[in-house]
Structure 1
Amino acid sequence: MRSIQQITLLTILSGIFIIPGTICHGTHKQGQKSVVFDIDQITFDGNLPAGASYIPGRNIIVGIKVHKDIVYVTIPRHGQTGIPATLATVKKDDNGKVLFSPFPDWPFQEMGKCTALQDVRSIEVDPKTDLLYIADNGNGGSCGPKLVVYDLAKKEVNASYELKLEGDKKSKINNLGDIAVDNQAVVYIANSNKFGSLWIVETKNGKVYFVENHGFRGQHFKPFVFENDTYWSNSSIKTITLTPDSKFLFYSTDDRNLWQVPMDMKKQLLNIRVGEIKDNRITGQKNFHGFCILMGTKFLFFSNVDNKSISYWDRNSDLENQKQGEAAVVKENEVMVNIQPRLEYFPGKMALDEEGYLWVVTMDLSMYFNETDNVDTRMKIVKIFVDNQPYNYEVLTTSCSARMFMSAIIVFICCLLASI
């Protein structure tokens, strides 16, 4: 019979590595893909509000974030009617039907009500604070663009910031893109309607800055070839992301250049506003065109339209090989994620969850570019195991393999003690 001391030791040893945030993924295969939501058209759960119009072909998913097993998506309005909700959650009912629910509710989607959401394209979640950051483009008229911070834990609006500078009669030209939030709760919002511009919101003191800088510009206009059609796009900042330590911001333009901005330049940016930045530099060029870059805890991921793929830059590997520091590292490698089975549709925006999965909005882009009102929207939300968490996710530094090895030793010791 085991003594009290032995039982106590067994209990302590067996529980040592049951620590939040230290999940190992030994059973998951790198690149393994599953279709989470197969969507012919967006169907809302329950009845629409009185007077709301709904044109299925205009309801297109663009942005996505996943937090605590809840999937949040944006459905931009682009000034159009027929889109009853611009921010929603998505799930399956008991029969497997995909259903969308307005987030947080229908009143918060009311068009023309300036405290409600008008046209949302991008969102970000801070997993440490449970805050959801929402970039709202406004309606182009009475309701201007704003940043809304929503507390997911308290289920209420935490703050709202009008994206208009003091003294301006109206807002700057806006087409708000990706959001990135640093470890000091400073929010960076890409503005793709004006060359080389960003909105910066310091949420701790409520200050809002509009930064327009020549150093942020790519080529003024760039042809984008999709299947048999050619589209022209201004090469402004559309997609941005931050490194896990918030030291560098990365952005990409339609010319496939990957730019790096050191965040200790923020004060310089705010002082210069317009001009050239010496330390803003191209780290390399992506191999393919795409609509999203996303930093994880290990890699910088790219969604690729040219060949319906996902690739990544192993920045840490280049840092180790080049030995010239973060400010000078050059992108020399780009690795294709071996997705199994392959993507059927073109990948767009992406999100990482706490379990190491990359979520991707995929769709038939011909419908999106041609702006038809077809009922069949042909979209799929998929997740791919990549063993990366969001850039702003706190993880323990102990590696998974090391924890597994130590756990094996503990199990061996426990077995020995149990046999005594």
Structure 2
Amino acid sequence: MTTLRRSFLSLWALCLAITLIPSHAEVIHEFVTIDYEWPNSTARAQSLANGDYAPKTGVVSGIQVYKGSYHYLSFFGEHDVPYTTIFVTVPRTQAVKGIPSGLNTVVKDANGKSVLRPYPNWAAQKIGDCSALQLPMSMAIDPNTGYLYVIDIGRVGISSPNPANLCPAKLVVYDTVGGGSTILSYEFPDSVVSRTTNYLNDIVIDYVNPEGTGGVKYAYMTDTLTRSLVVYDFAHNKSWAYKDPVSMGTDDDVDITIHGIRYRMDVGINGIAMSPTFNYLYYSSVGSKKLYQVPTWVLRTPGNDFVSNTRLVGSKKSQGGGMVFGHKGLFFGALEYDAVYRWDIEADIKSQRVLEGEVVMKTQVPVAQNWQTMQWTDALSLDNESNLYFTTNRLQKFVTNKMDFDGGEGANFRIFKYNVHDKSYLSPPSPFDGPEVVIG
């Protein structure tokens, strides 16, 4: 009887443990093609007719998430109501026309369909107006202020035979708490970011210290085409760039195999991530598995010896694009595995008994994987409540004109969310467990 009772209790405990672990990452938004929250049906029809809106010309790419709250008074007293805003970009890379809005929030329409709402408004998306956004690619958000930092390439249709070099590249900062007002719009000089050849791709912001006192001091951006790392200094309103053809270029891993098909991705420096110590910046190319590290003290002053201070940390499980640091690990897409992986840097520092500037990338664990729904993890974002968000967009099919926009293969673009027990590097650190492994 005792043996039977123990066996039953063991089985019950196992079943309980299984039910407590999510069986799959949560898809919170998905799209076969991109559609918008239009002012009215006439506006949509006109945009379709004149080519300003062509549903098969864009993909959901960059993502950032802001968790805020608004305060109000009622008969029952004062209240703080939490809200979540998801920002995404739809880059105008393949054609000059067809994407009416590049920077958006994601909302549900009256029928429960996920659509995009231009941010901060339609006027801010006008092609040819250099005060508006031309090709916003990526963003970073400050969880302490709600400021959204957006990089605008300024060029449109950059992957087409006839790109339009309409405007200078710029960095734009919006106050998302204050209704989307513009805090800063900085145009990069041509000597730092070329008006005719740049492809500003990813951005992180730098507090300088983990406490975040004084707010954001610097922004770091990758320029994929010119293979350079761009720095903007907020205090002095100036910018500069560093280049290294080795660490910012491609290598023998330029070919990526996805579902048995090889794709040549001669794409240089792309994803970047800031460590929670703010002592090091990490970066990698799409056409390489190598992950590099450079001290931030090098970046914060122009003219330093960048190449001599750059260090190869190790090789990622697979090539990837975006990545993001939490307080305990680096999350990144693994394109050949249709997965998200995590580098447990804290475990490696402890086991190797070294400092961050000496650690070797060893402990890489899968966090989420699905052969169908997670093809080409593009961008990742951690909020201040331990949730990881990321976009998948089958980009390998899009760039080779093999994307099924008729729905035969299901949704092409998805936004995933799940709790990984790790917060954004910009959030104050707190005790937490290791991340869950989510397969499916």
TM-score range, shorter chain: 0.7 to 0.9
Distance 1:307 1:220 in 2: 20
Distance 1:38 1:391 in 2: 27
User: Given that residues 276 and 425 in structure 2 are in contact (C-alpha distance below 8 angstroms), is that contact kept between their aligned partners in structure 1?
Assistant: yes
What's 1:240 paired with? 272
TM-score (norm 1): 0.80
- Which of 71, 76, 85 lines up with 2:86 in the alignment? 71
Change (3 A) 1:169 1:237: closer
User: Given that residues 107 and 116 in structure 2 are in contact (C-alpha distance below 8 angstroms), is that contact kept between their aligned partners in structure 1?
Assistant: yes
Change (3 A) 1:291 1:71: same
Q: For the pair shown, which has the larger CA radius of gyration, 1 or 2?
A: 1
What's 1:112 paired with? 128
What's 2:250 paired with? 219
What's 1:208 paired with? 239
Which piece of structure 1 moves more, 49-58 or 84-93?
A: 49-58
- Which of 294, 299, 307 lines up with 2:337 in the alignment? 307
Distance 1:225 1:338 in 2: 19
Higher relative contact order (CA 8 A, sep 6+): 1
What's 1:379 paired with? 413
The offset of 1:227, in angstroms, is: 3.9
- Which of 301, 307, 331 lines up with 1:277 in the alignment? 307
**How many residues are aligned here?**
367
- Partner amino acid for 1:312? R
The offset of 1:320, in angstroms, is: 1.0
Change (3 A) 1:317 1:169: closer
Distance 2:309 2:396 in 1: 38
Query: For residues 395-406 of structure 1, what are the structure 2 equivalents within 5 Å?
Result: 395=429, 397=430, 399-400=431-432
The offset of 1:185, in angstroms, is: 2.5
Q: Does 1:80 align with 2:96?
A: yes
C-alpha offsets along residues 110-130 of structure 1, whole Å, 9 cap, x if unaligned?
000000000011111011121
User: Given that residues 298 and 306 in structure 2 are in contact (C-alpha distance below 8 angstroms), is that contact kept between their aligned partners in structure 1?
Assistant: no
User: Given that residues 133 and 150 in structure 1 are in contact (C-alpha distance below 8 angstroms), is that contact kept between their aligned partners in structure 2?
Assistant: yes
Distance 2:122 2:347 in 1: 47
- Partner amino acid for 2:167? C
- Partner amino acid for 2:378? G
What's 2:55 paired with? 56
What's 2:425 paired with? 391
The offset of 1:305, in angstroms, is: 1.4
C-alpha offsets along residues 7-32 of structure 1, whole Å, 9 cap, x if unaligned?
xxxxxxxxxxxxxxxxxxxx974675
Structure 1 stretches lacking a partner, 5+ long:
1-26, 402-420
Distance 1:93 1:286 in 2: 39
What's 2:34 paired with? 42
Structure 2 stretches lacking a partner, 5+ long:
1-18, 68-83, 156-163, 208-215, 434-440
- Which of 154, 160, 164 lines up with 2:185 in the alignment? 160
Distance 2:193 2:319 in 1: 37
Identity of aligned residues (%): 28
What's 1:261 paired with? 294
Distance 2:26 2:396 in 1: 23
What's 1:177 paired with? 201
The offset of 1:363, in angstroms, is: 2.6
User: Given that residues 44 and 99 in structure 1 are in contact (C-alpha distance below 8 angstroms), is that contact kept between their aligned partners in structure 2?
Assistant: yes
C-alpha offsets along residues 246-295 of structure 1, whole Å, 9 cap, x if unaligned?
11000012210011111122256x214xx762221111100112222211
Distance 2:313 2:421 in 1: 24
- Which of 364, 374, 377 lines up with 1:345 in the alignment? 374
The alignment partner of 2:242 has SS state of strand
Q: Does 1:360 align with 2:384?
A: no
The alignment partner of 1:128 has SS state of coil
- Partner amino acid for 1:380? R
The offset of 1:235, in angstroms, is: 4.8
RMSD of Structure 2 on Structure 1 (CA): 2.6
The offset of 1:186, in angstroms, is: 0.3
Distance 1:176 1:360 in 2: 20
- Partner amino acid for 2:283? Y
Distance 1:224 1:32 in 2: 25
Change (3 A) 1:372 1:57: farther
Distance 2:251 2:368 in 1: 34
User: Given that residues 30 and 385 in structure 1 are in contact (C-alpha distance below 8 angstroms), is that contact kept between their aligned partners in structure 2?
Assistant: no
C-alpha offsets along residues 292-348 of structure 1, whole Å, 9 cap, x if unaligned?
221112210111111111110110111111112111011111011156x87623122
Query: For residues 15-26 of structure 1, what are the structure 2 equivalents within 5 Å?
Result: none
What's 1:132 paired with? 148
Distance 2:331 2:23 in 1: 13
- Partner amino acid for 1:114? C
Distance 2:281 2:22 in 1: 27
- Partner amino acid for 1:284? G
Distance 1:283 1:170 in 2: 30
The alignment partner of 1:319 has SS state of helix
User: Given that residues 241 and 295 in structure 1 are in contact (C-alpha distance below 8 angstroms), is that contact kept between their aligned partners in structure 2?
Assistant: yes
Change (3 A) 1:164 1:374: farther
- Partner amino acid for 1:279? N
The alignment partner of 1:370 has SS state of coil
Change (3 A) 1:100 1:169: closer
The alignment partner of 2:303 has SS state of helix
User: Given that residues 291 and 348 in structure 1 are in contact (C-alpha distance below 8 angstroms), is that contact kept between their aligned partners in structure 2?
Assistant: yes
User: Given that residues 165 and 196 in structure 2 are in contact (C-alpha distance below 8 angstroms), is that contact kept between their aligned partners in structure 1?
Assistant: no
